[in-house]
Copies of this chain bind each other. A is one copy, B any other.
Amino acid sequence: MTGDGGSDASGVDPQELWLTSDRPRRGRKPAFSRESITAAAVALADAEGLDAVTMRRVASEVGAGVMSLYSYAPDKATLIELMVDHVSGELPVSGAPTGDWRADLKAIAHLQRALMLRHPWLPAALSTRRSLGPHTLAFLERALAALRPTGLDGAAKLEVFAQLTGFVAGHVAHEIAQAAAARSPERAAAEARYLAVVAADGHHPELAEALAAPGRALTPEATFTRFLNRLVDGLDSD
């Protein structure tokens, strides 16, 4: 318990993390940094998935002892929040509102999607908890600015942003799962075989028909854009 202003990452409030001032005047000098540890964790997750992010792996990646990490983040959940905010720093914060708030909102969603495709673990990490780090907040600020012309009240604007983010995360998660399934033909074949059995049992005529009608191959991008347009275009109808 160091009171406020210490650089250690303990504290009751999760938010207190983002408020820690950076340099204590006494004591041993830190050999690592929150930044480098977070970056290593992100690189690990990008390369091998979120499950590969263990305290031991991150520590060895960064050349530290395992327990040293706990000087920079009080627990693993916090480290993941740091990761989320870290990659959120890749989101452009400039690009002020154009006046067409629908277009602005769609552009924002596309930025989020691109980020999540670049860091496929992000939707899963977001589903655990909402982070409120500086980069996340900067992007939120941009989204709120874009929503200004709607005249919505504060709570509604925040709600729209949360909903939009949730929508993008859900879509990208699905998109990634599809891509992964397509990459392992054995799994895909097994599922197809199973569905064929179900379709043949006579109790699922609609499913049978849906599977029989091929439907044109649509890029994930196109599907995303279509649903996004539907959601955003309906946004001011109360």
- Find chain B residues with CB under 8 A from A177 CB: 129-130
A210 sits at the interface (CB 8 A): yes
* Given A127-B173, A163-B171, A194-B132: A157 touches B210 (CB 8 Å cut-off): yes
A209 sits at the interface (CB 8 A): yes
Q: Which of A131-150 contact B (CB under 8 A)?
A: 132, 137-138, 140-141, 144-145, 148
Q: Which of A146-169 contact B (CB under 8 A)?
A: 148, 153-159, 162-163, 166-167, 169
- Find chain B residues with CB under 8 A from A127 CB: 123-124, 127, 173
A211 sits at the interface (CB 8 A): yes
Question: Which size bracket describes the interface of A in this complex?
Answer: 35 or more
**What distance in Å separates the Cβ of A126 from its nearest Cβ neighbour in chain B?**
10
Identify which of A11-19, A56-64, A66-74 touches chain B. A11-19
- Find chain B residues with CB under 8 A from A174 CB: 162-163, 166
User: Which of these, B137, B140, B190, B226, contacts A16 with CB under 8 Å?
Assistant: B190
In the complex, the answer to whether A155 meets B15 with C-beta atoms within 8 Å is no
Among A197, A210, A233, A235, find the residue whose CB has the most chain B CB atoms closer than 10 A: A210
- Find chain B residues with CB under 8 A from A140 CB: 207
* Given A141-B207, A191-B15: A215 touches B163 (CB 8 Å cut-off): no
**14 intermolecular pairs with C-beta atoms under 8 Å apart:** A12-B186, A13-B191, A124-B127, A129-B177, A132-B191, A132-B195, A137-B198, A137-B207, A144-B207, A153-B215, A154-B209, A163-B171, A229-B237, A233-B234
